[in-house]
Amino acid sequence: MTARGQGQALRPPPAARESLQGHYAGFASRFAAFVMDLVVLTGIFILVLAAINFMASVLTGKSIHFNHGNTWVVVAYAAWAFIYFAHFWGLNGKTPGGALFGVQVVTKDGGDVSGRRAIGRTLAFPLSFLILCLGFLGIVLGDQRRALHDIIAGTVVIYCWDARAARLRLLSRPRYSAPRAPPESHSLPGAPAPADPPR
């Protein structure tokens, strides 16, 4: 009974043992990946603007004051976001945020996304935000969890590695780790010491 109880205690919880790889990705994972991508691409964009400002101040002695209301800044940010998503979706279907949260864009039959399909998905992506973000309802209600831009581009989003189970296993590791082996001993605690062998 003790061995059975220890065996159950060493196993991670059922949610950590469940594999989601190859399943359609849910809304929470996709949203978290998108937020991470926004952080990454915005951070890179700000660094580039800072570099441009630094170079301009060194060469001309004047600083460039960037304003979010400047049309060219908005256009440059939109162009950079388009390049970011189209490049990574066409490269291997995974943006940095998608790779972090274990989601990947593939075709309906599970193939790699071509460059043309990645461009089409990127162009259709803003359509899902129109009309109060109703284009994302398919992720919650549909069997294949496809948003409007997925339907237009002929893509689906799946879990490419079991990020959720991996996180749960990591969180449960101290609790479900195997106990340390006791020091080697040939006698039980409290038992008399073995007699010396006869000489």
Among candidates 101, 95, 117, which has minimal Cα distance to 159? 101
Q: For the whole prediction, is pTM greater than 0.75?
A: no
DSSP assignment letter at 11 = S
CA 49, 71, 127, 115 dihedral sign is negative
pLDDT-based confidence at 60, cuts 50/70/90?
A: confident
Angle between helices 115-124 and 71-91 (to 10 degrees): 140
> What is the arithmetic mean of pLDDT over 49-72?
84
pLDDT of 6 reads: 47
pLDDT-based confidence at 180, cuts 50/70/90?
A: low
Burial-class residue 13 by CB neighbours within 10 Å (0-12, 13-18, 19+): middle
- The 10s digit of each residue's pLDDT in 84-102 is 999 999 999 999 999 999 9
pLDDT of 171 reads: 58
User: How much is the mean pLDDT over the chain?
Assistant: 81
- The 10s digit of each residue's pLDDT in 103-113 is 999 999 989 99
